[in-house]
């Protein structure tokens, strides 16, 4: 062995290595460890959670740069974590929406409903046959409103424009019940889940080799970790284009599935102001006066954080990718220009800003997976399929219905852990028969 960082010197014949300490990796490792298995987690970053990431540099306002919502609490495995770790959550009313016309005047509720209904008709048609109305310049307020609801549905929900998405498969599965956020930070669900696990940070896994007898996991530090099985939970972006290779190489079917699937973008921009200058009784605000669709969706987090003057803007798809390539200063300039147009002189200049930049992050390379035209849920099943009964795959992209969610990631990790345990039982049975 070249290096032995934290390696216990055993031959790894009964050890499972989990690559990645996000929701999938922690879900897998917890199940294996609780079943008494020898499990080591290798994580490239210096923290757990992956795309669940709470920044605590703003006093009194934990900022979630990755996931914020538990999408439906009924039957959701995250609800079980919420209850087990007694994490306070808040129900959000996602229908609490105020649409503002280009002059900043609130659009009456009945017209808002007509805009939404018009957008839903277009979405229904897209779902049926993939057709979309011609890309006319929609300038009147009604059409701007329709465009906002379409943008919210495609770019901000799925991280890609409708032309980048398969109209047959783009819908994801969420649970029934309330949509909840975690005011104290989403990582409160995962830090306790990681307690007591053998997690080795700063371990960038670069290569995984296997033969008939076992697996060796190689890291950028030159460490080689032998094991009986590995569960790979790195994001789709890293599998597609990151520095992780396999020998033998991934089977052609898996490579083809990787090529068909893609990563989408949801860019989060959190802005903190000297004071609240918007209607903080409403959670979601849509502003119809932007040049393109960017900077039209805003959330007020003031009520969530005891009146703290904080807004979140979501920008998905190509606009989100463009924003993530800008400096903080330029992002603040663009956001402020929109707020000035909307609120006039009442708009304050932000005192602080945070942008998520998952597209620039080498251990994510995008926000979450999407299903482009030509791809299908079968590609996700192909991605999830184990190799030689020893190399297992988990992560949101490998869940055929709940991809792009935290619960999908968690469930996929547990599925892979069960497959590892079932494989060991089969091997033990075969050994007993052969003995």
Q: Is 44 one of the binding residues for ligand FAD (CB under 6 A)?
A: yes
- Which CB, 216 or 404, lies closer to ligand FAD? 404
Helices and strands of the chain, counted as H and E runs: 11, 22
Q: Is 244 one of the binding residues for ligand FAD (CB under 6 A)?
A: yes
Q: Is 45 one of the binding residues for ligand FAD (CB under 6 A)?
A: yes
Torsion of CA 234, 240, 245, 247, to 10 degrees: 110
Single out the segment in contact with ligand FAD by CB under 6 A; choices: 235-243, 291-299, 346-354, 420-428.
235-243
Q: Is 363 one of the binding residues for ligand FAD (CB under 6 A)?
A: yes
Contact 157, 267 (CB under 8 A): no
Q: Is 42 one of the binding residues for ligand FAD (CB under 6 A)?
A: yes
Q: Look at residue 267 and give its three-state secondary structure.
A: strand
Among 146, 205, 339, 383, binds ligand FAD (CB under 6 A): 205
- Which CB, 65 or 99, lies closer to ligand FAD? 65
Q: Is 193 one of the binding residues for ligand FAD (CB under 6 A)?
A: no
- Which CB, 22 or 62, lies closer to ligand FAD? 22
In the sheet where 38-42 sits, what is the strand order? 198-200, 38-42, 15-19, 229-232, 391-393
Q: Is 240 one of the binding residues for ligand FAD (CB under 6 A)?
A: no
Q: Look at residue 166 and give its three-state secondary structure.
A: coil
Letters for 367-386 (x = contact with ligand FAD by CB under 6 A, - = none) are xx------------------
- Which CB, 202 or 307, lies closer to ligand FAD? 202
Say how many C-beta atoms besides its own lie within 10 A of residue 211's C-beta.
11
Q: Is 22 one of the binding residues for ligand FAD (CB under 6 A)?
A: yes
Letters for 258-277 (x = contact with ligand FAD by CB under 6 A, - = none) are --------x-x---------
Both tokens of 178, joined, read: 């309330």
364 torsion bin: left (phi>0), alpha (psi -120 to 50), beta (else): alpha
Query: Which one, of 101, 103, 99, lies nearest residue 116 by Cα?
Result: 99
Both tokens of 128, joined, read: 């049926």
Single out the segment in contact with ligand FAD by CB under 6 A; choices: 39-47, 305-313, 323-331, 335-343.
39-47
Give the footprint of ligand FAD on residues 388-427 (CB under 6 A).
395-396, 404-407, 409
Q: Is 238 one of the binding residues for ligand FAD (CB under 6 A)?
A: yes
- Which CB, 122 or 208, lies closer to ligand FAD? 208
Q: What residues contact residue 88 under an 8 Å CB cut-off, 6+ apart?
A: 182, 183, 184
Single out the segment in contact with ligand FAD by CB under 6 A; choices: 82-90, 125-133, 294-302, 360-368.
360-368
Among 51, 167, 210, 357, binds ligand FAD (CB under 6 A): 51
Among 30, 71, 153, 357, binds ligand FAD (CB under 6 A): 71
- Which CB, 235 or 372, lies closer to ligand FAD? 235
Q: What is the DSSP letter of 395?
A: S
Single out the segment in contact with ligand FAD by CB under 6 A; choices: 43-51, 134-142, 208-216, 255-263.
43-51
* DSSP string computed for 171-237: -----BS-EEE-TT-GGGGTTGGGTT-EEE-S--EEEEEE-SS-EEEEETTSBEEEESEEEE---HH
Question: Smallest distance from the beta carbon of 223 to ligand FAD, in angstroms?
Answer: 11
SS (H, E, C) 81-101: HHHHCCCCCEEECCCCEEEEC
Task: Give the whole-angstrom CA distance, residue 238 versus residue 233.
Answer: 10
Q: Look at residue 376 and give its three-state secondary structure.
A: coil
- Which CB, 141 or 269, lies closer to ligand FAD? 269
What angle (nearest 5°) sits at the alpha carbon of residue 358, between those of residues 168 and 49?
Answer: 95
CA 128 to chain centre: 27
Q: Is 317 one of the binding residues for ligand FAD (CB under 6 A)?
A: no
**Number of residues lying near ligand FAD (CB under 6 A):** 43
Residues that bind ligand FAD in the complex, under the rule CB under 6 A:
19-25, 42-45, 50-52, 66-69, 71, 203-205, 233-235, 238, 242, 244, 266, 268, 356, 358, 363-364, 367-368, 395-396, 404-407, 409
């Amino acid at each position: 062995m070249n290096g032995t960082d934290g390696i216990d010197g055993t031959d790894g014949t009964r050890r499972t290595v989990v690559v990645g300490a996000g929701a999938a990796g922690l879900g897998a490792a917890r199940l294996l460890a609780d079943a008494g298995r020898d499990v080591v987690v290798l994580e490239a970053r210096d923290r757990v959670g992956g795309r669940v990431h709470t920044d605590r540099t703003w006093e009194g306002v934990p900022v979630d740069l990755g996931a914020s919502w538990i999408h439906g609490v009924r039957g959701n495995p995250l609800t079980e974590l919420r209850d087990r770790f007694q994490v306070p959550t808040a129900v959000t009313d996602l229908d609490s929406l105020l649409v503002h016309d280009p002059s900043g005047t609130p659009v009456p509720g009945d017209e808002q409903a007509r805009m939404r209904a018009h957008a839903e008709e277009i979405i229904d048609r897209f779902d049926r046959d993939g057709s979309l109305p011609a890309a006319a310049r929609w300038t009147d307020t009604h059409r701007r409103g329709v465009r906002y609801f379409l943008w919210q549905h495609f770019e901000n929900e799925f991280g890609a424009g409708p032309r980048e998405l398969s109209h047959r498969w783009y819908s994801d599965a969420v649970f029934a019940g309330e949509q909840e956020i975690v005011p104290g930070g989403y990582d409160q669900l995962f830090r306790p889940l990681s307690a007591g696990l053998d997690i080795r940070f700063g371990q960038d896994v670069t290569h995984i080799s296997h033969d008939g007898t076992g697996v060796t996991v190689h890291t950028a530090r030159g460490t080689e970790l032998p094991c009986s099985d590995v569960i790979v939970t790195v994001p789709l972006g890293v599998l597609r284009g990151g520095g992780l290779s396999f020998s033998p190489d991934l089977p052609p079917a898996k490579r083809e599935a990787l090529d068909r699937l893609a990563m989408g973008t949801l860019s989060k921009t959190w802005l903190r102001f000297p004071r609240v200058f918007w209607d903080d009784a409403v959670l979601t605000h849509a502003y119809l006066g932007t040049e393109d669709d960017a900077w039209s969706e805003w959330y007020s987090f003031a009520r969530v954080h005891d009146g703290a003057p904080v807004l979140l803007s979501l920008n998905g798809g190509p606009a989100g990718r463009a924003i993530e390539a800008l400096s903080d200063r330029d992002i603040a300039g663009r956001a402020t220009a929109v707020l000035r147009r909307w609120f006039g002189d009442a708009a304050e200049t932000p005192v602080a800003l945070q942008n998520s930049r998952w597209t620039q992050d080498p251990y994510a390379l995008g926000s979450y997976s999407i299903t482009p035209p030509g791809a299908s849920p079968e590609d996700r099943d192909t991605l999830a399929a184990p190799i030689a009964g020893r190399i297992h795959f988990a992560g949101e992209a490998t869940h055929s219905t709940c991809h792009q969610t935290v619960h999908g990631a968690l469930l996929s990790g547990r599925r892979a852990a069960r497959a590892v345990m079932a494989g060991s039982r089969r091997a033990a049975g075969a050994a007993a028969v052969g003995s």
